[in-house]
């Protein structure tokens, strides 16, 4: 039996443009190129047997309906309004992976949208910060195979880079204000 493996590479990202339309998953790397996801790749990153890796890919690609899983059906039976598709997928993935629930990554001061608020991602809790798992990036609408710790570090670095002002973007008023600082 394969056990969990510590994540050491680039995060695997699966783009979900619509919660109801299948999409083409890909691997984001620092290069511009993308690599198509395969069951073998999921097996390697998450240390899963073929059948479970096939279920993970099927759920994320929209080929498997999350409501066919007992945990999702139990949740749906308790709901007045049906949860969004990515939430159901994460619940089903939690069952497939045998993780310890779906957790949210919240960042104080972040704002994604009216639904997510400051939840930048959700992930299947493997019990370890840097073990590979499935992460759903709420801002990008993408599923990733990475650790939640690596995801958060990357998210914070991207935010820090976005927050640095570009010198070319300063207005004359701002330039003048800086020239007169005592």
Task: Read off the pLDDT of residues 49-60 as tens digits, 9 standing for 90 and up.
Answer: 999 999 999 999
Q: pLDDT-based confidence at 35, cuts 50/70/90?
A: very low
Judged by average pLDDT, the poorest of 3-12, 47-56, 135-144, 171-180 is 3-12
Judged by average pLDDT, the poorest of 10-14, 109-113, 127-131 is 10-14
Task: Give the whole-number percent of the chain exceeding pLDDT 90.
Answer: 59
Spans of all domains in the chain: 12-179
Beta strands in 109-165 (DSSP E): 119-124, 133-137, 142-146
Q: Determine the Cα–Cα distance for residues 55 and 58; give it in Å rounded to an integer.
A: 5
Q: How many CA atoms lie within 13 A of 79 on its CB side?
A: 13
With a threshold of 0.75, does the pTM exceed it? no
Instruction: Measure the N-to-C terminal CA separation of the chain; round to a whole number of Å.
Output: 67
């Amino acid at each position: 039996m394969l056990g969990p493996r510590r994540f050491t590479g680039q995060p695997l990202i699966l783009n979900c443009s619509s919660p109801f339309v299948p999409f083409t998953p890909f691997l984001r790397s620092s290069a511009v190129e993308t690599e198509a996801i395969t069951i073998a790749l999921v097996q390697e990153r998450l240390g899963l047997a073929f059948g479970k890796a096939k279920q993970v890919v099927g759920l994320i690609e929209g080929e498997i309906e999350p409501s066919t899983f007992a945990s999702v059906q139990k949740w749906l039976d308790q709901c007045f309004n049906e949860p969004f598709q990515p939430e159901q997928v994460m619940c089903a993935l939690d069952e497939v992976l045998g993780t310890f629930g779906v957790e949210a990554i919240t960042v104080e001061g972040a704002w994604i949208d009216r639904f997510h608020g400051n939840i930048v991602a959700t992930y299947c809790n493997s019990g370890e910060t840097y073990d590979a798992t499935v992460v759903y990036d709420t801002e990008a609408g993408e599923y990733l195979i990475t650790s939640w710790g690596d995801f958060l570090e990357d998210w914070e670095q991207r935010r820090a880079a976005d927050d640095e002002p570009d010198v070319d973007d300063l207005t004359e008023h701002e330039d003048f204000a800086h020239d007169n600082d005592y």
